Chain A
Amino acid sequence: MNVVEVKDLTYAYTEEKIVLNGVSFSLEEGKYYCLVGHNGSGKSTLAKCLMGLVLRFEGSISLFGIPLSGKTLREIRSHVGIVFQNPDNQFVGSTVADDIAFGLENKRVPHEQMQGIIESFAEKTGMIEHLNHEPSALSGGQKQRVAIAGVLAMGPDLVILDEATSMLDPKGKNEILNLIHSLRKENPKLTILSITHDVEEATRADEIIVFNKGKIILKGKPEEVFVHREELASIQLGLPFFYQLRFALEEQGMQIPPSVKDLESLEAYLCR
């Protein structure tokens, strides 16, 4: 079953300003998707539609086989967790434990169970030693890990990361990406949709969806997408370091076989 099914999605803020223009795609269970596009490409609006924050769209969206509408929103949201961009704007608790508890309290999880759930997800996200810390004592990366812990504690089947790493420094960014990968190993059914313009992150995705002017222009595995060099450059997206280097080497006259897909295999090829 497809976790997300979007058909002919169109949305306009005003009559002239069409931000989504007939978008169709589906997401399969257990895969890690990166939705990439430049600032202003419409990817954030798409995210808002998927989260049900914007309901007056044309076309259809279904999640877990349930068509998205005002009536089904509650049911659908119980399956979906979202991590937003700004680490400071989504920290609602006074301590790490309080923050993770927020969703659980809303869900009326009995207090006796709650403690165990909080600890287990704080453990998974590496925040167990900070349970009683206030947000001011945490780095941006740590705050985002708490946000992820709070989302996971609700037991979602789909996690949407809306530029969740873009305000973090490189260290914080890596913390989050490594966390995502360890969570996927633990729960192979978890589907992840990461909205990002970090092309390095996208090299680790199962599939990349490239967005421009409210439309999907490329879709496929990283090695299928990043060979479209001119197209990506024309829409403001650069290439990951490996592909930049690969093209630069080819311009120097070096032949690189298609089996070389990342820096590790390039190193092995060059040092053979």
Chain B
Amino acid sequence: MSIRFEDVTYVYNPKTPEPVEALHNISLEIEEGSFTALIGRTGCGKSTLVQHLNALLHPTSGTVFIDTFVNASQKKKRDKKLKPLREKVGLVFQFPEYQLFEETIEKDVAFGPKNFGDSDEVALEKAHEALQLVGLDESFYKRSPFEISGGEKRRVALAGVLAMKPKYLVVDEPTAGLDPLGAKKLMELFTKIHEAGSTIILVTHDMDLVLGYCTDVFVLDHGKVALKGKPNDLFGQDVSRFSLQTPAIFDFAFRLEKAGYKIDKNKLNRVEDLAKAIVEGRR
């Protein structure tokens, strides 16, 4: 089981004078159980790709397989029943806090499970569980989602997706605009969900997150897969040609290497790893 793209092309505004090809013959496989990063400059096709994962978009040509679900162009045979797919793939858009709408936080989070046929009680139970998971206790349940801080809103929105216990969790720039520890806590939460068996797909511009948390990475460039591999291998080479920043840890490691330090970049994921490497590299 996995997510598989086979020769997927997607064109915005087809059959108009100005069609825009956002994805070009993409083939890739996101393995079940991985923590996969999708990276690339603004406009490289990341968001378009992600919207194929729960059939918000259908390929212009080619096929996307999400486990056994088939997402293909209209001409081809594709699965029409979207509900099971939407339950399986949870998509958290950028700045999801703008999508809150209910009277109370618990109702907002329970909206998803209720939509998928849960009774009020079960939906609320799932909502409470999800809120606990994102670190919001009982005192939040009955409050309005509009009178809490921005970081808390973000977590409520996330809980709304987690309440459906998606097998694949897709998060688009989840840490943008959060304070540093808020961002760290969120990433640790994803790690926890990942360890509990979910597959996480992270879209981000923050290379430090990719290095610190992800198991696999795909670099998209002009609608194609430009590179794929393990984060430590990827950042060992020059990534500036894809307008990507080098993670701060690698950047400093490169600077020291030029001055004669020997640093093993395979184990370089946290600041502590770098400190250790520096102390050892001196000898």
Given A38-B151, A39-B182, A40-B149, A167–B176 Cβ distance below 8 Å? yes
Given A170-B205, A267-B252, A238–B279 Cβ distance below 8 Å? no
- Which residues of chain A are within 8 angstroms of B178 by Cβ–Cβ distance? 39, 197
Measured between alpha carbons, how far is A167 from B248 in the docked complex, in Å?
20
Asked whether, in the complex, the Cβ of B181 is within 8 Å of the Cβ of A245, the reply is no
Residue interface mask B192-228, A partner, CB < 8 A = 1:
0000000000000111000000000000000000000
B142 at the interface (CB under 8 A from A): no
Measured between alpha carbons, how far is A251 from B271 in the docked complex, in Å?
12
Given A40-B150, A169-B205, A252–B182 Cβ distance below 8 Å? no
A237 at the interface (CB under 8 A from B): yes
Where chain A touches its partner, the secondary structure class is loop
In angstroms, how far is the closest chain A Cβ from the Cβ of B19? Answer: 17
Q: Which of B249-270 contact A (CB under 8 A)?
A: 252, 255-256, 259-261
- Candidates B95, B182, B248, B278; contact of A236 at CB < 8 Å: B182
Asked whether, in the complex, the Cβ of A248 is within 8 Å of the Cβ of B243, the reply is no
Given A245-B275, A249-B275, A39–B176 Cβ distance below 8 Å? no
- Which residues of chain B are within 8 angstroms of A166 by Cβ–Cβ distance? 176-177
- Which residues of chain B are within 8 angstroms of A249 by Cβ–Cβ distance? 275, 278-279
Q: Which of A169, A238, A267 has the most CB of B within 10 A?
A: A169
Q: Which of A37, A237, A249 has the most CB of B within 10 A?
A: A249
Minimum CB distance partner of B95 in chain A = A167
B274 at the interface (CB under 8 A from A): yes
In angstroms, how far is the closest chain B Cβ from the Cβ of A106? Answer: 29
Residue interface mask B117-144, A partner, CB < 8 A = 1:
0000000000000000000000000000
- Which residues of chain A are within 8 angstroms of B176 by Cβ–Cβ distance? 166-167
In angstroms, how far is the closest chain A Cβ from the Cβ of B203? Answer: 11
Asked whether, in the complex, the Cβ of B184 is within 8 Å of the Cβ of A238, the reply is yes
Asked whether, in the complex, the Cβ of A244 is within 8 Å of the Cβ of B271, the reply is yes
Minimum CB distance partner of B247 in chain A = A241
A1 at the interface (CB under 8 A from B): no
- Which residues of chain A are within 8 angstroms of B248 by Cβ–Cβ distance? 241
Asked whether, in the complex, the Cβ of B275 is within 8 Å of the Cβ of A39, the reply is no
B272 at the interface (CB under 8 A from A): yes
- Which residues of chain A are within 8 angstroms of B278 by Cβ–Cβ distance? 249, 252, 254, 270
Asked whether, in the complex, the Cβ of A248 is within 8 Å of the Cβ of B271, the reply is yes
Minimum CB distance partner of A42 in chain B = B149
Asked whether, in the complex, the Cβ of A238 is within 8 Å of the Cβ of B180, the reply is yes
Minimum CB distance partner of B98 in chain A = A86
Measured between alpha carbons, how far is A39 from B156 in the docked complex, in Å?
14
Measured between alpha carbons, how far is A245 from B273 in the docked complex, in Å?
10
14 examples of A-B residue contacts, CB within 8 angstroms: A39-B152, A39-B179, A85-B177, A163-B177, A171-B245, A238-B181, A244-B271, A245-B271, A252-B275, A254-B278, A267-B252, A267-B259, A271-B259, A271-B260
Where the two chains meet, the residues of B that have a C-beta atom closer than 8 Å to any C-beta of A are 41-42, 95, 148-152, 176-182, 184, 205-207, 243, 245, 248, 252, 255-256, 259-261, 271-272, 274-276, 278-279, 282
Inter-chain pairs besides A40-B150, A248-B271, 20 sampled, C-beta below 8 Å: A38-B182, A39-B150, A39-B178, A39-B179, A39-B182, A40-B149, A40-B152, A171-B42, A236-B180, A236-B181, A236-B182, A238-B181, A238-B184, A241-B252, A244-B271, A245-B252, A251-B275, A267-B259, A271-B259, A271-B260
The 5 A-B residue pairs with the shortest CB-CB distance, nearest first, are A40-B149, A238-B180, A39-B151, A248-B275, A271-B259
